[in-house]
């Protein structure tokens, strides 16, 4: 057992860990699991030159920078697909995200360069010499395990893919509700740890913000269906009990992504939707996405937004295929958006989702 050097960084993927529980590190003697924490140093700089900490501060990293890192899988079409190593025999791991999630890259987008590599120095341990795992350090423990209805109105933001504009749309929804004197809570249920999106919703007026990392998950890629549902339900139980409030939620990546698709098919999610916001990068993606939503999930969105909403030409093309309202999430008409979000759940939506 060795003591960690002074000045090491604690990234946001380890959001639930406190300095008190971090005591020492020991050699890696078994294959890692999701949430296992290692102490390591930067070997080579690649795509990522920084680490995000638990306050959202961005630290520049250099060759030799020492920090904690958390094993997790990542699904990011614009960056990497990475998985946790299956054995203990690895000399380096790849930095999959700025939040400190590490694994081994399986594939990468042509838009990015090779990953920053990390040399593991050992598993991080608590006072008893047990390996620290973020899943054992959960910040959310709802008082009740049963949902009472009616509940806070769920505004669910989904999209065609990564970077389709879901987070901006969710932030716009939070703002439109909050400036109209509604209390709003905001959550991101799936994805890879990153505080940027939920902090943006907090800045827009969400009184409470959260994501899966508050439950100890560094990422949600490849978790079991029951785990994904449990994340959704625990966040719901914690933040959405008041029927007069709104709960704005984002699912990461696209509707064909594994965990997002599982949740869209879950009755726990479907019965909670008050308004469904669908985001796309362009009009053609929106048109195709509407068909997938209808044919695969039997869902019809209440509004369309995303990157496409910033272009009058995309909106014009879209209007030839659907009369679903479109709102520009970067130039918000808060009164018009509030009318969409606060209107009663439409009969059409109820029939489609049943």
φ, ψ for residue 12 (rounded to 5)? -70, -20
pLDDT: is 351 or 22 the higher one?
22
For the chain, the domains span 12-136, 153-353
Q: What distance lies between CA 289 and its chain's CA centroid?
A: 20
What pLDDT does 350 receive? 42
DSSP 344: P
198 in Cβ contact with 188 (< 8 Å): yes
Alpha-carbon gap, residue 75 to 71, rounded angstroms: 14
The contacts of residue 312 (CB under 8 Å, 6+ apart) are: none
| pLDDT tens sequence across 196-237 | 999 999 999 999 999 999 999 999 999 999 999 999 999 999
What pLDDT does 351 receive? 40
Alpha-carbon gap, residue 311 to 314, rounded angstroms: 5
The contacts of residue 215 (CB under 8 Å, 6+ apart) are: 135, 138, 139, 140, 231, 234, 235
* Percentage of the chain exceeding pLDDT 70: 97
Alpha-carbon gap, residue 265 to 257, rounded angstroms: 12
The beta-carbon contacts of 315-318 under 8 Å, at least 24 apart in sequence, are 315/283, 317/283, 317/284, 317/287, 318/283, 318/286, 318/287
**Rounded mean pLDDT of 173-192?**
98
Q: What distance lies between CA 278 and its chain's CA centroid?
A: 16
Write down the CATH superfamily of domain 153-353: P-loop containing nucleotide triphosphate hydrolases (3.40.50.300)
Instruction: Quote the tokens at residue 20.
Output: 């008190």
φ, ψ for residue 123 (rounded to 5)? -75, 140
**Rounded mean pLDDT of 118-134?**
98
Alpha-carbon gap, residue 47 to 115, rounded angstroms: 5
| pLDDT tens sequence across 302-348 | 999 999 999 999 999 999 999 999 999 999 999 999 999 999 987 45
What pLDDT does 348 receive? 54
What pLDDT does 345 receive? 84
**Rounded mean pLDDT of 77-87?**
98
Helices (runs of H) and strands (runs of E) counted in the chain: 9, 16
What pLDDT does 66 receive? 98
Instruction: Quote the tokens at residue 177.
Output: 């509700």
| pLDDT over 50 (residue 354) | no
**Rounded mean pLDDT of 264-292?**
98
51 in Cβ contact with 28 (< 8 Å): no
The contacts of residue 84 (CB under 8 Å, 6+ apart) are: 32, 33, 34, 71, 72, 73, 103, 104
The contacts of residue 272 (CB under 8 Å, 6+ apart) are: 151, 154, 236
| pLDDT over 80 (residue 159) | yes
134 in Cβ contact with 101 (< 8 Å): no
């Amino acid at each position: 057992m060795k003591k960690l050097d002074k000045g090491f960084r604690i990234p946001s993927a380890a959001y639930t860990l406190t300095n008190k529980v971090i005591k020492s590190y020991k050699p890696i003697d078994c294959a890692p699991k999701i949430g296992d924490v290692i102490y390591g140093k930067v070997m080579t700089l690649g795509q990522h030159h920084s680490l995000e900490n638990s306050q959202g501060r961005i630290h520049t990293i250099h060759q030799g920078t020492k920090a904690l890192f958390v094993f997790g899988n990542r699904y990011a079409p614009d960056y990497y697909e990475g998985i946790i190593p299956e054995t203990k025999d690895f000399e380096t791991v790849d930095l999959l995200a700025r939040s400190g999630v590490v694994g081994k890259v399986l594939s990468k987008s042509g838009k990015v360069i090779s990953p920053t590599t990390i040399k593991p120095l050992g598993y991080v341990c608590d006072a008893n010499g047990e390996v620290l795992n973020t899943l054992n350090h959960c910040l959310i423990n709802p008082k009740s395990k049963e949902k009472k209805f009616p509940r806070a109105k769920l505004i669910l933001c989904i999209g065609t893919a990564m970077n389709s504009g879901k987070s901006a749309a969710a932030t716009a929804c939070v703002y439109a509700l909050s400036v109209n004197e509604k209390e709003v809570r905001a959550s991101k249920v799936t994805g890879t740890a990153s505080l940027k999106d939920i902090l943006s919703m907090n800045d827009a007026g969400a009184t409470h913000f959260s994501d899966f990392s508050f439950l100890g998950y560094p990422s949600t890629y490849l978790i079991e269906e029951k785990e994904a549902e449990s994340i959704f339900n625990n966040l719901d139980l914690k933040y959405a009990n008041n029927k007069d409030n709104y709960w704005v939620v984002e699912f990461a990546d696209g509707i064909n992504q594994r965990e997002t698709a599982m949740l869209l098919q879950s009755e726990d999610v479907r019965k909670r939707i008050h308004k469904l916001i669908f985001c796309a990068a362009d009009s053609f993606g929106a048109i195709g996405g509407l068909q997938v939503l209808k044919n695969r999930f039997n869902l019809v969105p209440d509004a369309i937004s995303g990157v496409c909403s910033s272009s009058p030409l995309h909106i014009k093309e879209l209007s030839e295929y659907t009369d679903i309202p479109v709102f520009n999430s970067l130039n918000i008409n808060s009164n018009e958006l509030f009318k969409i979000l606060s209107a009663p759940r439409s009969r059409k939506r109820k029939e489609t989702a049943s």
